[in-house]
């Protein structure tokens, strides 16, 4: 798929799916996964040159739907609900697990995950669990190391090396440093999406 044939500005919310039967399967899925408050909505909005298409939540962890954004009629950006939110109830955790694991089990083909990890915080226990899960079930993924503007150059390089050397990170997986504030990594992520498609 050629770069000039994808208009990232042409994007709309297709459906917020709370049940597996609502998930559309007519186009490839580029999936965004990460813990609550890692910056998924900000990243998606930045890639699409939008301010509020992907909604940021004032109460992290409350939204348990999988949001599908139609991109130029060619593929979906898939926004998974954030994980690792401490105040989520047991019933909410169970619903999250059933929805997300059910999605992955039913949709292992035509799917690539962009896993978001906070570059300042590093890979949390929940991030490591997610990476290991994807490796175990054979899901291809790349990593967007978010909030790069929150650290100085020295810390950025140090934290990137630590992330790259994490045993849970697939050695073949690309890691792109990203900042929704400065725009760092936007071009690289768009090119990654195009290469996946």
pLDDT for the residue numbered 3: 47
CATH code linked to domain 3-196 = 3.40.50.300
Whole-number pLDDT of residue 176:
98
pLDDT tens-digit map of 122-165: 999 999 999 999 999 899 999 999 999 999 999 999 999 999 99
Q: What is the pTM of this model?
A: 0.92
Q: What is the pLDDT of residue 90?
A: 81
Please list, in sequence order, all residues whose beta carbon lies within 8 angstroms of the beta carbon of residue 62, skipping any fewer than 6 positions away: 92
* 21 pLDDT more than 80: yes
Q: Per-residue pLDDT averaged across 36-50, rounded? A: 94
Res 60: pLDDT: 52
Domain ranges in the chain?
3-196
Q: What pLDDT shows up at residue 58?
A: 52
Summarize pLDDT for 89-120 with one digit per residue, the tens: 788 888 888 999 999 988 767 899 999 999 99
């Amino acid at each position: 798929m050629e770069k000039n044939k994808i208009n990232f500005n042409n994007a709309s919310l297709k459906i917020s799916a709370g049940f597996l039967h609502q998930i559309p399967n007519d186009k490839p899925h580029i999936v965004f996964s990460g813990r609550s408050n890692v910056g998924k909505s900000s990243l998606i909005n930045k890639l699409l040159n939008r301010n509020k298409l992907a909604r940021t939540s004032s109460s992290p962890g409350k939204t348990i739907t999988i949001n599908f954004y139609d991109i130029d009629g060619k593929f979906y950006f898939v926004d998974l609900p954030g994980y690792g939110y401490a105040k989520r109830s047991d019933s909410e955790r169970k619903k999250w697990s059933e929805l997300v694991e059910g999605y992955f089990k039913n949709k292992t083909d035509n799917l690539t995950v962009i896993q978001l990890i906070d570059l300042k915080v590093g890979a949390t226990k929940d991030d490591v669990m997610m990476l290991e899960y994807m490796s175990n079930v054979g899901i291809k993924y790349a990593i967007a190391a978010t909030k790069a503007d929150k650290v100085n150059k020295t810390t950025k390089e140090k934290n990137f090396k630590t992330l790259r050397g994490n045993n849970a990170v697939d050695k073949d997986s690309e890691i792109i440093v990203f900042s929704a504030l400065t725009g760092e990594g936007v071009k690289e992520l768009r090119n990654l999406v195009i290469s996946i498609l």
